[in-house]
Structure formats: C-alpha cells, structure tokens
Amino acid sequence: MRCYTQAIALEPSADSYAKRSAAYLKLNNHLDAVADATESTKLEPSAKAFKRMGLGCFALQEFESARAAFTSALELDAPAAREMKRWIRKCDAEIASECEGAAMATTPAPQAAPSASTSSAPAAAAAPAAAPAAPAPLVPEKIRHEWYQTQTHTVVSILARNVPKDAVEVSFEETKALVAVDIPDMPKYELCLHLFAKVLASECKLSVGTAKIELKLKKKVAGKWDTLEGDGSGDATDFNTATDDAPRSVYSGSRRNWDAIDTDLKKKEEEEKPEGEEALNKLFRDIYSKADEGTRRAMNKSFQTSGGTVLSTNWGEVKEKDYEKERTAPDGQEWKKWG
C-alpha cells in the first residue's frame, strides 16, 4: 500500500490507482477502493478499474452505481462477460429487493369493503374511475433503516424512496444523529440515533437519493463498532480482529445467500446453448481442455503457424509439417511478411 501511494505521489497513473484500489478491497476499505478506481477510470478507462469500482460500490450497498460500473467493465472486456453478467444480476436482485421493501413501507392500508346500502347506490354516485391516484403516504412506523461500517465511517441507510431533498433535515452531534422528514399532508418521520462511539460532527454528511436517505458518519477513532447505538463511550476495536470462527461474507450488508445463487447461475450458464461463432469457440475450448499434451501441442502449432487456417489434433502429423511454407492465401489475396 505504501509503495502504491508513493508511486501515485511521484507520477499518478491509471494502473497505480487501480492496483491501490485492489489493495483497499483486500483490506475491506471500500470507500477508498471506489475512490481510487474512479480516479483510474478518469485517467484511462479499463475493465479492471470498473470492476473494482463495482465491487466496492456493491459492498457499500450502492447497487445502482455498482451495476453501472460492472456494465462498463462488460463493454470493455468481452472475455470477462460471464463474470460481469453474474455481478449485474446480483445488482439487479438487490435493487429489486430495495424496491420491494420501499413499496411495502409506503403501501396504504386496504380500504374496508363497502356495506350493502353503499353497494346498492346508483352508479352515478360512485367516484370517477379516471381520478388520479394520490401519492403513496409516508408511513413512519414502516420505514426501516440499516447500517454498515468501514474502518473510518459508519453509514446509516433510511429506506424511504422519492423523498424530496428539501423535506429532510439532519443534525449531527458528537454522540447523536437526528433525521427528520417533513412532507406536507403526511405524517412526520423522525429518527434519533444515540451512537455507540463519538463521531466528528463537522465531517458527517447527508445524501438523499431516489431509493434511500443516507447518513455518512465520520468516526472520531477509526475502528470497528460493536453496535450502531449506545451511550457514545464505546471503544472502537481493530477492524481486522476476528471475533468468532464464522467465515465473514464478502458481500457487506447483503442478506442474500449468494453461494447458492452463484451455484444456480453457473448451472444455468452451463445449460445455455451458444450459437454461431460462440458455439464453435466453445467446442474448441472443450476439446483443448480435455486433450492430452500431444493434442494441445498439435492444435497450438497448426493454428499459429498456418495463420489460423488449420487446426489439427494429430501431433504425429503436425510435428513434421511446415505450415508457413504450405499455407495459401484466400482467392484475391496474398500472404505478405512485414518487418
């Protein structure tokens, strides 16, 4: 890490930023990993930088940003298409889950069934069918919040969708954070968090997006909090110290069983039947992967020395042949050596 930082200080380059981003990912410092990957793409867009940006954003639960990054990586690196498509599907699943949760939080209570006297009223007295639907009410008791943390920050996500920015007020204190959402004609929502440990109030930030309200709290002392809330006197512990023997998930904040989903995706990919050139390439890959050493040598030599016009699996035949002398150009063309 120190060497990458020195290299960047001497001469910033896309490769140095991308490599330091990878190091930050290994250390679970996802905020800095995303920042470095972003700098790398600004200097020179590359698939590896966009992939690392996507991994960092996914761990930070910024699933829409992660999806955009993985899509950019897919466009720049066709051989990695399968892996990138898998990550995009994961992002889609998380985004859909967020939408479902927000929809549940804002769904109004069902209306009571009409009485017999009401149902027998003339049709003209009924409300017009084309009347515009009222906006879904903000139901404070159904809005949930989640949190995750890095070495330097604690991030609280309030899962309320399409909240106007000017309707949100926030107050940061050393041991407390207060959020209020006040929309006319709707119940007021308030969340008061008494924090586990102290934060730097002047460096805490609020962001309001279409899917959630986010509080980014800067820890006064870097390290791991045991819980989100407390009396402000909690001690941050070493972030890399394991507290139990249970394996830690690489998907920070996600509640999904991605091991099972990965297995299912791989099975579906294997069942997919490629077509055209992709099918031919898959056939060659399967033959090569299952072949012995002699067959692989024959395939490599025949294909490379013939300029891609011959692919043989018989080493006994290929080892004596000189395809460079025997090869012929297609009609209307000629072989030509350069240099």
Q: Please report whether residue 133 resides in a domain.
A: no
Q: Please report whether residue 64 resides in a domain.
A: yes
User: Residue 172: what pLDDT?
Assistant: 94
Instruction: Single out the residue in 172, 205, 234 at which a domain terminates.
Output: 234
C-beta of residue 156 within 8 angstroms of C-beta of residue 193: yes
∠ CA 314-315-316, nearest 5°, is: 90
User: Residue 276: what pLDDT?
Assistant: 67
Instruction: Give Cα 41 to chain centroid, integer Å.
Output: 16
- Distance linking the first and last C-alpha atoms of the chain: 42
User: Residue 239: what pLDDT?
Assistant: 64
Range of the domain at 209: 140-234
Q: How many folded domains does the chain comprise?
A: 3
The domain spanning residue 16 has which CATH number?
1.25.40.10
Sheet holding 168-172, edge to edge: 168-172, 176-181, 189-194
Instruction: Single out the residue in 105, 128, 151 at which a domain terminates.
Output: 105
User: Residue 131: what pLDDT?
Assistant: 46
pTM higher than 0.75 for the full model? no
Residue spans of the chain under pLDDT 70: 1, 98-141, 239-259, 261, 268-277, 326-330, 335, 337-339
User: Residue 132: what pLDDT?
Assistant: 46
Residue 128, both tokens: 């017009």
User: Residue 179: what pLDDT?
Assistant: 93
Nearest to 238 by CA among 226, 219, 224, 249: 224
User: Residue 97: what pLDDT?
Assistant: 74
What DSSP state is assigned to residue 125? G
User: Residue 240: what pLDDT?
Assistant: 57
Q: Please report whether residue 245 resides in a domain.
A: no
